[in-house]
Amino acid sequence: MAPPRPWLTILGIGEDGRAGLSPKALAELDRAEVVIGGARHLALAAPVAAQTIPWPSPFADGYAMVLARRGRPTCVLATGDPFHYGVGAELARLVPAEDILCLPHPSAFSLAAARLGWSLPDCDCVSLHGRALERIIPRLQPGARILALSWDGSTPGQVAELLKARGFGASTVTVCEALHGPRERVRRSVAADFSIPDVDPLNTVAIDVVAAADARIVTLAPGLPDAFFDSDGQLTKADIRALTLAALAPRAGELLWDIGLGAGSVGIEWCLRHPRNRCIGVEERPERAERARRNALALGATALDIRIGRAPAALDDLPAPDAVFIGGGASEPGVFDAAWAALKPGGRLVVNAVTLETETLLGTLHARHGGAMRRLAVSRLEPVGGMHGWRAAMPVTQWVVTKP
């Protein structure tokens, strides 16, 4: 017996409207009892014989409306490829895959790459639609090609200003507007002299990145320069930070707890290791929490979630971490126990100590739980009168352990 026919069709549509739909897509549109989509999508698909319902505001209310029609032929319209920063992924979390038929249209990324002659696998694709503009900062690498979905017509100008401020003013910014439709325009400008007026709200920004000698580049290696972080002195320095990140061993999509966030350097660099990495930073001093938030935005680490409070109480009800870093407050009663209890099996815990009291505690914990301990000592060359000498930083005792 043939499997049941999917009741939900997710149909990608472009600026060319019905003319760009395949015969199969048109047949599904005609078969539907109800067609749901944004006002622009419904206008592009017209004429539609079925009942049409505009997607509601707030947007999340639309999912319940779709689910209420379970089992009856329903069509949801979306821009381009519904599973590329589109509504498809959220619907697929609510509706089994066998109940869905998706017929995508070329995505904005595909269309922009085709117009520019760029190899799509060699481009960094990012959405700035409803997301922080700073997400683009880690992708600003010399020679990179970036395709970014815009929030509205102001996004290209804002991107150009960000490029100028960070030393990438020589980059070429191409604004691709309403691609694949009658209003299509492709216009270029150098970021430093950006002057593209009246940008259509439906646009994709393409950036051919050129870095000046003094450009502020977020490199791919851990241990970013200390000068990249504003701090009041509560900062894990670059050399120790690089070794700490190596000990934490971040993997794609993992969550870190950074307890005693300080300037946020470890949590920020954790997030920068992979676009899907997240960090919850716990800091009891509001001024430090605010400083860490600014540091995170300045480096594009938008997945740092800062909680103001004192551990261990501030750890209650947080999602279980894949790794934990305790950079401050390890000797506070209950902090280690709470972190260890919450840590997932196979998760890594790293504690850095600079005081004898915390080092003594780490010795006790090492005897109880195993793991590895090491003492990290760094000396830096500094002026001594008219000459130079080595000045030793305070040594750091580091305990690294994996939860069974």
Percent of the chain with pLDDT over 70: 99
Q: With 80 as the cut, is the pLDDT of residue 198 above it?
A: yes
Query: Of 300, 268, 297, whose CA–CA distance to 138 is shortest?
Result: 300
Q: With 90 as the cut, is the pLDDT of residue 2 above it?
A: no
Question: What integer pLDDT is reported at residue 368 of this predicted model?
Answer: 97
Residues 236 and 357 grouped into a single domain:
yes
Q: State the average pLDDT over residues 141-163.
A: 98
Residues 101 and 114 grouped into a single domain:
no
Residues 31 and 157 grouped into a single domain:
no
Q: State the average pLDDT over residues 187-194.
A: 98
Question: What integer pLDDT is reported at residue 203 of this predicted model?
Answer: 98
| CA distances to 122, 252, 273, 302, 356 from 276, in Å | 19, 6, 9, 10, 37
Q: With 70 as the cut, is the pLDDT of residue 85 above it?
A: yes
Decide if 12 contacts 82 (C-beta within 8 A): yes
Report helix, strand or coil for 207.
Answer: strand
Q: State the average pLDDT over residues 164-179.
A: 98
Residues 392 and 257 grouped into a single domain:
yes
Total number of domains in the chain: 3
pLDDT in tens, 199-240: 999 999 999 999 999 999 999 999 999 999 999 988 999 999
Q: With 80 as the cut, is the pLDDT of residue 347 above it?
A: yes
Q: State the average pLDDT over residues 375-398.
A: 95
Q: What is the CATH number of the domain that holds 141?
A: 3.30.950.10
Residues 285 and 384 grouped into a single domain:
yes
Buried-state track 316-339, b at ≥16 Cβ within 10 A, e below 16: eebeebbbbbbbbbbbbeebbebb
Q: With 80 as the cut, is the pLDDT of residue 1 above it?
A: no
Report helix, strand or coil for 279.
Answer: strand
Q: Which two tokens stand for residue 346?
A: 């196979």
Question: Rounded distance, CA 165 to CA 53, Å?
Answer: 44
Q: Which two tokens stand for residue 88?
A: 């498809």
pLDDT in tens, 43-82: 999 999 999 999 998 988 999 999 999 999 999 999 999 9
Decide if 193 contacts 231 (C-beta within 8 A): no
Q: With 80 as the cut, is the pLDDT of residue 3 above it?
A: no
Q: Which of 155, 178, 208 is the last residue of a domain?
A: 208
Please return the burial class of 50, using the count of CB atoms within 10 Å of its CB with bins 0-12, 13-18 and 19+.
Answer: middle
Question: Rounded distance, CA 395 to CA 380, Å?
Answer: 13
Rounded to the nearest integer, the mean pLDDT of the chain is 96
pLDDT in tens, 16-41: 999 999 999 999 999 999 999 999 99
Number of residues assigned to the chain: 404
Decide if 163 contacts 217 (C-beta within 8 A): no
Percent of the chain with pLDDT over 90: 95
Residues 150 and 254 grouped into a single domain:
no
| CA distances to 25, 32, 241, 269 from 86, in Å | 18, 21, 37, 28
Residues 251 and 366 grouped into a single domain:
yes
In a 13 Å sphere around the CA of 80, the CA atoms on its Cβ side amount to 20
Q: Which of 75, 105, 135 is the last residue of a domain?
A: 105
Q: State the average pLDDT over residues 106-114.
A: 97
Q: With 80 as the cut, is the pLDDT of residue 174 above it?
A: yes
Residues 88 and 131 grouped into a single domain:
no
Residues 256 and 292 grouped into a single domain:
yes
328 band by pLDDT with thresholds 50, 70 and 90? confident
Q: State the average pLDDT over residues 107-117.
A: 97
Q: What is the CATH number of the domain that holds 29?
A: 3.40.1010.10
Question: What integer pLDDT is reported at residue 329 of this predicted model?
Answer: 85
- Which residue segment(s) compose the domain that 138 sits in? 109-208
Question: Rounded distance, CA 99 to CA 5, Å?
Answer: 7
pLDDT in tens, 261-310: 999 999 999 999 999 999 999 999 999 999 999 999 999 999 999 999 99
Q: Which of 208, 234, 252 is the last residue of a domain?
A: 208
Which parts of 230-334 fold into alpha helices (H)? 238-248, 265-272, 286-298
Q: With 80 as the cut, is the pLDDT of residue 170 above it?
A: yes
**pTM (2 d.p.):** 0.93
Residues 171 and 253 grouped into a single domain:
no
Decide if 269 contacts 222 (C-beta within 8 A): yes
Q: State the average pLDDT over residues 169-183.
A: 97
